[in-house]
Amino acid sequence: MCRFILPLAAVLMISACGGAAVVGPGGGGTGGGSTDNGPITSAADIPADLRVNVNAIAYDPAAQTLNVQIASLDSTPTTVQYRRTAALDVAGYQAYSVQEDALDRLFIALAAQSPDGSVSATTVADGGQFNKYFAGGVYTRKGAFERPEIGTGPGAGQVSYAGNYAGLLNGGISQGDPTSVLLPTEPGTDPSLLPSQSARVSGNIFLNANFADNSVNGSIYNRMVVDTNTALSNVILVATDITENGTFEGSAEDSDKNQIGAYGGAFGGRGANSVAGLVHLTEVIRDVDDEQEHGVFVLSRCGGPNDPGGVCSQTAPR
């Protein structure tokens, strides 16, 4: 097997070696958003290309507990409680993990909840073993979608959101690497048996949403592989519709306008003060084959009660 491995250096020097392939989406419907204007609590409400292998996730940030039901091969019973793994946190996101023994897959999850508690999102992935990996995620919303007040002046209905982005790649970390939490295997273990660990991605994300036109778009920038300090290219989140339920699903592109994946999410909170969502990207690292990235974002509204600052200083006051 030719596994996707990120060297611990400033520049990726890989060619003709790809990552484990994702196993197709699990059952339970095609997803794409709830049909009513209420809470989003089920993985069945998530688009299939974002949910992928995840059947359910229950996240409690206050108690720091995360329970995951993924198809499959993480542990038993079907729903598994992951352990808090603070060493793998990415800015703004809590990390959790599970690995039953040294020859089982290591699953890592990154999760966050908005400051107002209205939305949350979690992404989870293993680093690959036996030519395949399992991954996906969910986002949730408490309560109904509450459209922000739309005025009559210039830019009325235009709202911006900003914050941190986090992602997991389908491999990249091996035993002995500085950020590895893989359980050690015995010397001489055949390499074909060894699981890999997902490398983590960090970045910033900015969204513009217009609730008069019911559209949203944005960018993920300042992207880098946390484990190697390797810079990654920006990702454009192409304009897509906001549904009556405050959900959205669109395509992701690189700077050359090549489609490289999908994104989606849901607005929540009073006057849509928060938004949470997922990203699934493919072929986003130059000279690396078959790499995939499963990302998560939980953002607050610029000018809102939890204004995240930064680029929000350049947006119109609301």
Q: pLDDT class for 77, splitting at 50, 70, 90?
A: low
Q: Report phi then psi at 43, rounded to 5.
A: -65, -25
Distance, CA of 205 to CA of 282 (rounded, Å): 18
Q: Environment class of residue 292 by beta-carbon count within 10 Å: exposed (0-12), middle (13-18) or buried (19+)?
A: buried
Out of 38-42, 129-133, 242-246, 303-307, the most confident range is 242-246
- The answer to whether 284 and 157 have CB atoms below 8 angstroms apart is no
Per DSSP bridges, beta strands 132-133 and 21-22 are: parallel
Question: Is the model's pLDDT at 64 over the cut of 80?
Answer: yes
Question: Is the model's pLDDT at 43 over the cut of 50?
Answer: yes
- The answer to whether 109 and 120 have CB atoms below 8 angstroms apart is no
Q: How far is CA 91 from CA 10, 229, 264, in A?
A: 20, 14, 21
pLDDT at residue 156, as a whole number: 65
Place of tokens 């490398």: 199
* Annotated domain spans of the chain: 37-144+153-181+194-314
Q: Which of 68, 67, 65, 71 is nearest to 48 (CA)?
A: 71
Q: Environment class of residue 154 by beta-carbon count within 10 Å: exposed (0-12), middle (13-18) or buried (19+)?
A: exposed
pLDDT at residue 17, as a whole number: 38
| pTM for the full predicted model | 0.90
Place of tokens 């940030």: 61
pLDDT at residue 285, as a whole number: 78
Quickly name the fold that domain 37-144+153-181+194-314 has: Porin (2.40.160)
Q: How far is CA 291 from CA 14, 25, 103, in A?
A: 11, 17, 22
Both tokens of residue 82? 């992951």
Distance, CA of 55 to CA of 137 (rounded, Å): 9
Question: Is the model's pLDDT at 250 over the cut of 90?
Answer: yes
Both tokens of residue 300? 């607050």
Distance, CA of 73 to CA of 199 (rounded, Å): 19
Question: Is the model's pLDDT at 109 over the cut of 90?
Answer: yes
* pLDDT (mean) for 207-212: 94
Q: Percentage of the chain with pLDDT > 70? A: 85
